[in-house]
Amino acid sequence: MLTSLINAQRAGKQRVAVPYSGIKERLAQILQEKGFLSALRVQSGPKAKLVLTLAYDEKGQARIHGLKRISRPGQRWYVKKSRIPYSMDGMGCIVLSTPQGLMDDHKARKAGLGGEMICEIW
């Protein structure tokens, strides 16, 4: 999903469709809250899809400047609540998988939760 987002934005696309899963939907909701996506919807059918509408500013510049997957199947990255890093000195966000579900780094710090770092976006 992350690669599809960055590739679609680099190509200047307005929307991108990815296969549906609950974790992808929650990740997309976080990205929408942070202003990286303008809309999302679930397209039902035999194979459900998550349709994401990318966000651009007034000048047509992409809101997503960079994206990095942190935790991979071969190398998981877990952090304690006191060790959650800041992305781009607070300008970006890190998405964590916590015991209370996916949340961004700001909410995880506020809730006092650590977890697996999924990705960083700025």
> Which pLDDT tens digits describe the chain residue by residue (122 residues)?
999 999 998 898 999 999 999 999 999 999 999 999 999 999 998 999 999 999 998 888 888 888 999 999 999 999 999 999 988 877 889 999 999 999 999 999 999 999 999 999 99
Beta-bridged to residue 20, according to DSSP, are: none
Give the single-character DSSP code of 87.
S
Domains in the chain, CATH or no CATH each: 1-63 (3.30.1370.30), 65-122 (3.30.1490.10)
Residue 61, pLDDT score: 87
**What is the C-alpha to C-alpha distance for residues 65 and 6, in angstroms, rounded to an integer?**
9
Residue 45, pLDDT score: 87
Among 65, 90, 77, which Cα is nearest to 119's? 77
How far is CA 107 from each of CA 4, 21, 30, 31, 70, rounded to the nearest angstrom? 26, 22, 11, 13, 18
Q: Which contiguous run of DSSP H or E holds residue 15?
A: strand 15-19
Cβ atoms within 10 A of the Cβ of 56, count?
14
Residue 99, pLDDT score: 95
